[in-house]
Amino acid sequence: MGDLDLAFIGTGNAFAPGGLCWNGFVAGGRYLFEAPPQALQSLNRMGIDPNELDGVVISHHHGDHFLGLPFLLLHWKYFQRSRPAYIVGPPRTRELAEAICRTVYPGVLDAPYELRWVELAGGESVDLPGIRLSARAVQHDTRLSLNLGYLAELGGRRLAYTGDTGLCDAVLELAAESQVLVAECSSVDERVPIHLNLVDDIPKVRAAMRPASTLILTHLTPDVAAAAPAGTLVARDLERFRL
């Protein structure tokens, strides 16, 4: 069982409060979870070569999780990516991404490498190079195609990610099954609906986890870090964890 590397390219919620970058992280140096608008900038700042990524895993189509894709594709096209890139997300990911990319960077999809689209429904799994991903339907914005959390098995470790969600059975199951859980925590109290908050929800999430498992909060406001209980990690922009 090896170490699990997590590199947070951003930790803020949709409002980028206090100047936080929008949430996303690289797992095991290979898969970028979420494509926030500043993804390419943050990867460059952290010295992570986007061409080294095997793929991108998207939880849902809100702009703070999705609108960085055109910049990644721009990089891959013009900086000599040659091997395939996987884009994983809920249904309609390919249709939406291609429409946006064709509109904002015409020609960016005509590239010398292969894009491999994987769309998952809740309960579906896929085996990709170096990772097994299991998608779980979570409760967030019902106007979107689907909102997903993920259980990821990589490097002999079980990493779970809630995506954006209110507290629901799927979140508690991800908490119970994982060794490392990256959970959104959009506010200290209940002021942001259809999201997890620190006071009401995170204690229930922690209680569902095994005692030795690690909980990392992201998708934050700055005051979450100050109020977080001992033993709960709160990610910071451009921070790396080795767990």
Residue 52 to residue 83: CA distance in whole angstroms:
9
Stretch near Zn ion under the rule CB under 5 A, chosen from 69-77, 116-124, 163-171, 217-225: 163-171
Pairing, β 214-218 against β 180-184: parallel
Binding window for Zn ion (CB under 5 A); candidates: 22-30, 60-68, 74-82, 216-224: 60-68
The answer to the question of residue 158 lying near Zn ion (CB under 5 A) is: no
Nearer to Zn ion, 85 or 217 (CB): 217
**Counting contacts by CB under 5 A, is residue 34 touching Zn ion?**
no
Q: Given the rule CB under 5 A, which of 2-10, 149-157, 164-172, 233-241 is the region that contacts Zn ion?
A: 164-172
Q: Which residue has the tokens 């909102």?
A: 147
Between residues 54 and 164, which has the closer beta carbon with respect to Zn ion? 164
3-state helix, strand, coil in the chain (%, to 5): 25, 30, 45
CA 192 to chain centroid, in Å, comes to 19
The helix (run of H) or strand (run of E) holding residue 24 is strand 24-27
Question: 103 or 142, CB closer to Zn ion?
Answer: 142
Q: Rounded to the nearest whole angstrom, what is the least distance from the CB of residue 148 to Zn ion in the complex?
A: 11
Q: Whose Cβ is closer to Zn ion: residue 119's or residue 164's?
A: 164
Which position among 61, 62, 75, 136 is part of the footprint of Zn ion (CB under 5 A)?
62
The stretch near Zn ion (CB under 5 A) out of 4-12, 62-70, 92-100, 150-158 is 62-70
In angstroms, the CA 218 to CA 64 distance is 13
Q: Could you write out the DSSP letters of every residue in 42-102?
A: HHHHHT--GGG--EEE-S---HHHHTTHHHHHHHHHHTT--S-EEEEESTTHHHHHHHHHH
How far is Cα of residue 184 from the mean position of the Cα atoms in its chain? 10
To Zn ion, the closest distance from the beta carbon of 127 in angstroms equals 27
Taking contact as CB under 5 A, which single stretch among the options 15-23, 43-51, 80-88, 157-165 is the one that binds Zn ion? 157-165
Q: Does residue number 164 form part of the binding site for Zn ion (CB under 5 A)? A: yes
State which residue, 50 or 90, has the beta carbon closest to Zn ion: 90
Instruction: Characterize the bridge pairing of strands 125-128 and 131-137.
Output: antiparallel
By CB under 5 A, name the binding residues for Zn ion: 62, 164
